[in-house]
Amino acid sequence: MTYDFMFSRALELHQDGRFAEAEQLYRQILETAPKNPDILNLLGLVAQARGVHNEAVTLFYKAIKISPDHAPYRFNLALSLAELGKPHEAIEAYQKMLALTPDVKEAWYNLGQLHKTLGNFQTAASCFHKAAALDKTYAEPLVGLALLSDAPEKDLNALLFLFPDCAEAHYQLSVICLEQNRYKEALAHARSALELAPESTDACLAAAFSCLKLKDDASARDYFAKTYAINPKSVPALAGLAAIASREREFDKAEALFVKALELAPNNTEALINYADMLYQTGRLLEAVETSRKAVLLAPDNPAVSNNLGIICKDLKDFDEALGLFFNAYKKSPQTEEFSVNIYETLLLLHREKPQEAEQIAANWLKDSPENIFAQHLSAAFNGQSDNNGDSLFSQKLFDNFASSYEQTLKKLNYRLPEIIKECIGTPRGLVWDLGCGTGLIAEQLKSEEISFIGVDISAAMLDIARSKNLYKELINSNIFDFLNNPPAPPPALIIAADIFCYMGSLEGVISRCAPCPLCFSVEKSEKDGFSITTDGRYKHNKDYVNNLLTKSGYAEITIKEAVIRLEDGKPVAGFVFMAR
């Protein structure tokens, strides 16, 4: 096979994307011409296309050493240096290349992007202007200038008016919309970018992340898969596919994808976080701790990373370390309610073992954060005080954060209240008001063609889950008292309040508002008179106290069933289910 034929065939294979075969021929040629800079450069381009940029850089440097005045070698070198995260070296390569051929618009644009990443905005703008001056139809540097302006979204939209086929402008608008939580607009711009540039992995990923935020995992999976098909070394695509597989409980598939992503990028924090979560879900807590610790070391200022490790430590009953991690997350982002919920729950657990320590930490938390509803409620509970003024707000925030894991948690607690209530009421007919309906467990238990349900709950997140079950005629996001003060017509055949009164102190107001409708509800058993708040922030009620309130409100037929409502720390929680007519 002649040199010219081998070279021609290698180029053909290279252009067809058959990189392994092209590389083999290039290396055969190199054996006979070891100092051929063009072959070294082409081998570098093959390595670059395969994402092996370290190898590409070595080959480009060899080509440059042989032919230092050939600008394309330096351009290719700069591209791979930038991919390796070496912006200063990449800038130097572009500068030397532009000294040889100053009229390459792409080089000026790429140089501007590098200066932008380093915060050299004035220099970046100058580079973008030079790129645009070389070609008035070249829109990308104008996108770069728009992103440096005080009103990037406005300038990008204006640019699209002049260059409607600019995929980069659509992609950057997608990024801006994602950052501003405008997910539908983000998806629309990402799709427009993909119509113009179908092979754009950036646009594919923007579409995927938009779909994730819109809770459309199926579409997100498709976009991640498309990204992976274009670039099998895309860590975000692998990690995204793994996270979706984990949510769908395809754990073997998820783990294989996570491992592959982390082989490519061992320090990818997002992949480590999601992999740790998968390990946690599968009960591999020690492995989850190890993986989470790696993420914490890489991103010590990321509050979500500390929070995730805290959750695992809490499950391992290392409450002191869990609290340290939760407070670390809370101090960095006090407005994130999940962190407050985790502090609250961990202090409740610590209180069972070390009550004085837990009470002191709770007191300090309240002192530092007097407006925090969880700190208020916890301190009141630890001091045996009712918090009637804040109970509704506390319940709303607690269950908004608890919604996604609510049913899974109840299964662990052997929660049987829906079944017990069904035993007490038999087979109801007509309209049922399900007060504090949560995720719809009562409707699931009682559903029949002869019943229609109106669900009421203070937590919008819980109602979203209930809505997905298609069991309710209507779902209302409301405080129970507000609902009962202005109830819809007609009156119900039955009102149910399952596991709700444990979040209220006095029951007089709610029972009187339910009368005279038939009423079935549960309370946790108290040996004390009236009602009392426990150290876990819930209320218990005396059987006679509740019975007297029902009688006072006009209920004449009252049946009481004593039952174990659930387990708490492995111990039965005693309660009563009342049926009043």
Q: Tokens at residue 194, please?
A: 């993909």
Q: What is the pLDDT of residue 521?
A: 96
Q: What is the pLDDT of residue 386?
A: 66
Kindly give the pairing relationship between strand 558-568 and strand 519-524: unpaired
Contacts of 309 (CB under 8 A, 6+ apart): 276, 289, 292, 293, 295, 296, 325
Q: What is the pLDDT of residue 381?
A: 85
Q: What is the pLDDT of residue 505?
A: 87
Q: Tokens at residue 494, please?
A: 């039955």
Question: Cα–Cα–Cα angle for 466, 246, 416, nearest 5°?
Answer: 40
Residue pair 255/284 in contact by the 8 Å Cβ criterion:
no
Chunked into runs of 10 residues, the chain (581 residues) has average pLDDT values of: 68 77 78 83 86 90 94 95 94 96 95 95 96 93 94 93 93 96 96 96 96 94 96 93 94 96 92 93 92 92 92 92 95 94 93 93 95 90 68 77 79 87 88 95 92 94 93 94 92 94 91 95 93 85 96 94 86 92 93
Q: How far apart are CA 214 and CA 184, in angstroms?
A: 8
Q: Is this model's pTM higher than 0.75 or not?
A: no
Residue pair 87/114 in contact by the 8 Å Cβ criterion:
yes
Q: Tokens at residue 473, please?
A: 């005629």
DSSP for 491-547, written as a single string: PPSEEEE-S-GGG-S--HHHHHHHTTS-EEEEEEB-SSSSEEE-TTS-EEE-HHHHH
pLDDT tens digits along 61-105: 999 999 999 999 999 999 999 999 999 999 999 999 999 999 999
Residues written for the chain? 581
Residue pair 257/242 in contact by the 8 Å Cβ criterion:
yes
Q: What is the pLDDT of residue 387?
A: 55
Q: What is the pLDDT of residue 535?
A: 80
Q: What is the pLDDT of residue 50?
A: 81
Dihedral of CA atoms 91, 92, 93, 99 in degrees, nearest 10, equals: 110
Q: What is the pLDDT of residue 518?
A: 95
